[in-house]
Amino acid sequence: MTLLSEILELPDSPEAVFSAFCEREWCDGLPIIPPTLERVESMLGAVAGDPQESLGALPPLWREATLEKLAVNAVMAGCLPAHFPVVLTAVEAMLDPAFNLYGVQATTHPVAPLLILSGPYARAIGMHGGSGCFGPGFRANATIGRAIRLILMNVGGGWPGRHDMATQGSPAKFAYAIAENEAACPWAPLHVELGYAPDQSVVTVFGGEAPHNVNDHVSTGAAGILHTVSDTAATLGSNVKWYLSQSQLLLVLGPEHAATIAGDGLSKGEVKRFVFEHARLPLGTLKLGGMWGIQDWPEWMRAVTDDRTLLPIVASPEEIFVIVAGGAGKHSAVVPNSTFSRAVHRPLTRLLNGGHRE
Amino acid sequence: MGRETPSMSESRSIRVLSPVGEARPSVLTAPALPSDLRGKTIGFLDNTKANFDRLAADMGELLRRGFGVQDVVHRRKANASSPAAPEILEALAKACDLVLAGSAD
């Protein structure tokens, strides 16, 4: 295996390697696993493809996402080789023009690609969708999410304040990766809803803000919980709604909320419709600030003059995604998107040995 | 007790690979900027954010009065975060000698 990366010779101590990477702005501020030749080769051994094959040029500096460079960053993040196919598939998905990675990388808006892994490979590699799934504590979630960030920084060139212009950044920019809690999902999981077979494994990337908490401890029916979800989703300060054609919403329902909603007989489609119809703001509120005056709305919304009219935050129920994740408790989360980036789904490919290691 | 001293540890070295990606060289030749703006058409690509339209209007007027610019073309993207539509770029390229891509926030 021929690798072409520049090689650095450093003192063989964790502190020295960490310092050298920090000085060069090659890491996220946390210690890294030194990307030695042997470790990078081992990472590359988990996928099919030539190390110099590029998945495309990553913005904002348009540097090539070769398998070799992706593997170096995955090693640094602490990934196991079995995690690498997920990282690689996420990069493929982020390079889909619909995802608008340039916008996600460069915006002042605090957004990060949320990686959702659906299907059996999540279980095979220990990708966690249960209690505390957004972290901390789970190696697959933490290291796969971190590998994505290191790739966006080191290959894409999105360094904070320089190309990554997020005003305040976000904790979600360290690592943002979960699995669905398929065992606790009363509906079809996301990948099956999208038309994939149950035994396929699918990566979704969703350019989203950090999760917004939905606390509903008292509702005993679907309507109460979904009103709370809708109210959390429809806020003046969220970016969602201003560029309506690109606005999307992800609902991450906790298993207890999902069970209550499904217990009232609602399908996933009906959940989306409810939230589409109730997550609205009156025109008069929208005029108070946010991006009023520079919004990109369809003609019918621009024609509204009555300040009491409730206006939607996404263009249709289909722009709302619903997954179940988390553990015990009466909490869910709403993840607004970056309003110029659309969710992209990709089945896992390039798995060697069948990939499914159950 | 078997523990290495710092000097022993640091006397060894480790070889690591750079994580930084490389851009493929691209061949893109841009025409030289005009040395004189007299009689030229100047374009502004508006990113839609607040006040860029005002800035562009003032600059356009200054360029007309002070530098002999003949015409000013102002085109607006759909929104700030999406790339300009190809037809907007084509129209600007066709009509203008020089285009300023604007940013305001």
User: How far is Cα B16 from Cα B18, in angstroms, rounded to an integer?
Assistant: 7
Nearest CB to B81: which of A76, A103, A293?
A103
Q: By CA distance, what is A155's nearest residue in B?
A: B21
Does residue A12 belong to the interface with chain B, where contact is any CB pair within 8 Å? yes
Chain A CB contacts of B21 below 8 Å: 58, 61, 63-66, 69, 154-157
> In this predicted structure, what is the pLDDT of residue A57?
97
Chain B residues with CB under 8 Å of A155 CB are: 19-21
pLDDT at B9 over 90: no
For A158-198, the DSSP string reads: -EETBEE--SS--GGGT--EEE--GGG-SS--HHHHTT--T
Q: What is the pTM of this model?
A: 0.91
Q: Which of A62-67's residues contact partners 24+ apart within 8 Å by CB, and which partners?
A: A62/B23, A63/A155, A63/A156, A63/A157, A63/B20, A63/B21, A63/B22, A63/B23, A64/A155, A64/B21, A64/B22, A64/B23, A64/B24, A65/A91, A65/A95, A65/A151, A65/A155, A65/B21, A66/B21
The mean pLDDT value for B33-51 works out to: 89
Test mutation, B17, B54, B77, B103, chain A, max A CBs within 10 A: B17
In eight-state DSSP terms, residue A294 is S
Convert the pLDDT of each residue in A146-204 to its tens digit: 999 999 999 999 999 999 999 999 999 999 999 999 999 999 999 999 999 999 999 99
CB contact under 8 A, A8 and B12: no
- pLDDT greater at residue B56 or residue A94: A94
Determine contact: B33 vs chain A, CB below 8 A: no
Question: By mean pLDDT, which of A119-123, A322-326, B4-8 is the weakest?
Answer: B4-8
Q: For chain A, what percent of residues have pLDDT higher than 90? A: 94
Q: How confident is the model at residue B105 (pLDDT cuts 50, 70, 90)?
A: low
Q: Are A317 and A276 in contact (CB under 8 A)?
A: yes
* Residue B9 included in any domain: no
Report yes or no: A286 at the B interface, CB cutoff 8 Å: no
Give CB contacts under 8 A, 24+ apart, made by B31-34: B33/B98, B34/B97, B34/B98
Q: Which of B17, B19, B78 sits opposite A150 (nearest CB)?
A: B19
A156 touches chain B (CB under 8 A): yes
Q: Is the pLDDT of residue B10 over 60?
A: no
Work out the pLDDT band at B78, boundaries 50, 70, 90.
confident
ipTM score for this prediction: 0.93
Whether residue A61 and residue B23 make contact (CB cut-off 8 A), yes or no, is: yes
Q: Where are the beta strands (DSSP E) in A90-173?
A: 112-118, 159-160, 163-164
Q: Supply the mean pLDDT for chain A.
A: 96
Highest mean pLDDT among A145-159, A291-305, B36-50 belongs to: A145-159
Query: pLDDT for A216-245, tens place per residue?
Result: 999 999 999 999 999 999 999 999 999 998
Q: Which of A87, A44, A238 is nearest to A176 (CA)?
A: A87
Tokens of A134: 């957004």
Q: What percent of chain A has pLDDT over 70?
A: 98
Cβ distance of B12 and A12 shorter than 8 Å: yes
Percent of chain B with pLDDT over 90: 50
Range of the domain at B51: 41-105
> Between residues A261 and B11, which one has the greater pLDDT?
A261
Q: Give φ, ψ of A172 to 5 degrees.
A: -70, -15
Q: Is B3 an 8 Å CB contact of chain A?
A: no
| Min Cα separation B37/chain A (Å) | 31
Locate the domains of chain A by residue range.
14-345
With bands split at pLDDT 50, 70 and 90, how would you rate the model's confidence at B103? low
Give a yes or no: residue B26 inside a domain. no
How many domains are there within chain B? Answer: 1
Question: How many contacts does A have with B, using Cβ atoms within 8 A?
Answer: 116
Chain-chain contact of B16 with A10 (C-beta, under 8 angstroms): yes
In a domain, B103, yes or no: yes
- Cβ separation of A338 and B49 shorter than 8 Å? no
**pLDDT tier, A348 (very low <50, low <70, confident <90, very high otherwise):** very high
Q: For chain A, say whether B14 makes contact (Cβ under 8 Å).
A: yes
Cβ A12–B9 below 8 Å, yes or no?
yes
DSSP letters along A205-260, please?
EEEEPSPEEEE-SS--SHHHHHHHHHHHH--TTSSTTTBGGG--EEEEE-HHHHHH
